[in-house]
Homo-oligomer: A and B are copies of this chain.
Amino acid sequence: MSLTVSRPNINNKFRITPKALDIPVRLLLGPGPSNSNPDVVAAMNRQPIGHLDPAYLDLMDEVQAMMRYVWQTENPMTLPISGTGSAAMEATLANAVEPGDVVLVGINGYFGNRLVDMAGRYRADVRSISKPWGEVFSLEELRAAMEEHRPAILALVHAETSTGARQPLEGVGDLCKEYDCLLLIDTVTSMGAVPIFLDEWGVDMAYSCSQKGLSCPPGSSPFTMSERALQKMDKRQTKVANWYLDISLLRNYWGKGRTYHHTAPVNMTYAIREALRLVIEEGLENSWDRHQKTAEQLWDGLAEMGLGCHVPKEYRLPTLTTVKVPDGVDAKAVTSKMLADHNIEIGNGLGELGGKVWRIGLMGYNSQPENVDRVLAAMAKVMAEI
């Protein structure tokens, strides 16, 4: 029986005829994605190779080593997750949480709430402490919460993309060790751009993304786990409740065994490898200093325009600035007009800060003085026009 004979008629309802790809050129100064370094997107314009090809295995080793450098950790279990930042976020909880574990989450923005949601899906006993969006937790507040909740895992957001606040982490790792607790940190908006010392700070698990400080498209997301965190995973009574993100399987692919788990996003690996190489070429401290300097230029320029920042300077992230929307100004009208008339993307406020702030990102490749000039000039023009 020929296949052709038995075929039903083809349904052409969705046979659209799209035109050639035509992507507008945007300056992405919102909460992310940020623009990529042109060398990074060019790196993807290559044929894939097999995920077990000896040449690919070499790339994997290089990517792992460079992530360790940028995060300042010696954790062997440092690898990119095959998805965007939220997948790496979920990987930390999926692997470390067993049903019933107490997970204490610090909520001072949108991503704290997401950690609560995710941890609950892995059947953690989720507890939380909260601060108004834009504030950070003191070591004393964290100690009091540890004393009350005695968690197995403390989860904090180092760089809250929704608020622009930087959570200081000095001393938190020691506190966690004192309470026999793992420390889990969100570095999505800080990796590569803001000083991070995972080992020095005693961080056990961290995740990030590719499309901010690393100047790479989204789709390959740094993940790391300390020996202490791996020991907890290895004592699990149940399988990790997520196959794709199961580190107990993935470590056999990323480690010496090189056992096939899932097909890697090969061209994204080309991209993040190039992105990490460029951070090393610049030097980590030089990248941090550049981000700080460019941000200060933005803050000074905003002040000259009479615009204030939501977060006190001491805790303000250089990567993401929340700018107070003046009374009577329609925040969304400004962002829409910035995109439509100037091809510049800046972000609206999220959650508690919706309508109250704009979010201006200066991350990775985009952290350059000329971009500060461009965004300030465009904002002045748009605000005069609306």
Residues of B within 8 A of A26 (CB): 47, 49-50, 53
Indicate whether A151 reaches chain B with its CB closer than 8 angstroms. Answer: no
Indicate whether A208 reaches chain B with its CB closer than 8 angstroms. Answer: no
Contact: A74 with B217, CB < 8 Å?
no
Residues of B within 8 A of A345 (CB): 49-50, 53
Interface stretch (choices A85-93, A226-234, A319-327, A373-381):
A85-93
Counted per complex, copies of this chain come to: 2
Contact: A28 with B50, CB < 8 Å?
yes
- When chains A and B are docked, how far (Å) is the Cα of A218 from the Cα of B68? 25
| Minimum Cβ distance to chain B for residue A5 (Å) | 11
Indicate whether A18 reaches chain B with its CB closer than 8 angstroms. Answer: yes
| Minimum Cβ distance to chain B for residue A249 (Å) | 9
| Minimum Cβ distance to chain B for residue A285 (Å) | 6
Contact: B217 with A267, CB < 8 Å?
yes
Contact: A280 with B15, CB < 8 Å?
yes
**What sequence of 0s and 1s flags, for each residue 10-43 of chain A, a beta carbon within 8 Å of any chain B beta carbon?**
1111111110010111101010110110000111
Partner of A7, one of B11, B120, B195, B268: B195
**What sequence of 0s and 1s flags, for each residue 207-250 of chain A, a beta carbon within 8 Å of any chain B beta carbon?**
00101000001110000000000000000000111111000000
Partner of A280, one of B4, B16, B24: B16
Interface stretch (choices A142-150, A178-186, A258-266, A300-308):
A258-266
Q: Among A46, A47, A241, A274, which residue has the most Cβ atoms of chain B within 10 A? A: A47
| Minimum Cβ distance to chain B for residue A166 (Å) | 9
Contact: A10 with B284, CB < 8 Å?
yes
Residues of B within 8 A of A266 (CB): 33, 211, 217-219
Contact: B45 with A83, CB < 8 Å?
no
Q: Among A65, A217, A240, A241, which residue has the most Cβ atoms of chain B within 10 A? A: A217
Indicate whether A117 reaches chain B with its CB closer than 8 angstroms. Answer: yes
Contact: B197 with A18, CB < 8 Å?
no
- When chains A and B are docked, how far (Å) is the Cα of A74 from the Cα of B62? 44
Residues of B within 8 A of A8 (CB): 72, 197, 200
Residues of B within 8 A of A13 (CB): 68-69, 74
Indicate whether A299 reaches chain B with its CB closer than 8 angstroms. Answer: no
Indicate whether A51 reaches chain B with its CB closer than 8 angstroms. Answer: yes
Contact: B21 with A48, CB < 8 Å?
no
Residues of B within 8 A of A284 (CB): 10
Contact: A48 with B35, CB < 8 Å?
yes
Indicate whether A330 reaches chain B with its CB closer than 8 angstroms. Answer: no
Indicate whether A156 reaches chain B with its CB closer than 8 angstroms. Answer: no
Indicate whether A273 reaches chain B with its CB closer than 8 angstroms. Answer: yes
**What sequence of 0s and 1s flags, for each residue 142-181 of chain A, a beta carbon within 8 Å of any chain B beta carbon?**
0000000000000000000000000000100000000000
Interface residue ranges, A against B (CB under 8 Å): 3-4, 6-8, 10-18, 21, 23-26, 28, 30, 32-33, 35-36, 41-51, 53, 55, 62, 65-66, 68-69, 72, 74, 82-87, 90, 114, 117-118, 120-122, 170, 195, 197, 199-200, 209, 211, 217-219, 239-244, 261-268, 270-271, 273-274, 277, 280, 284-285, 288-289, 292, 339, 345
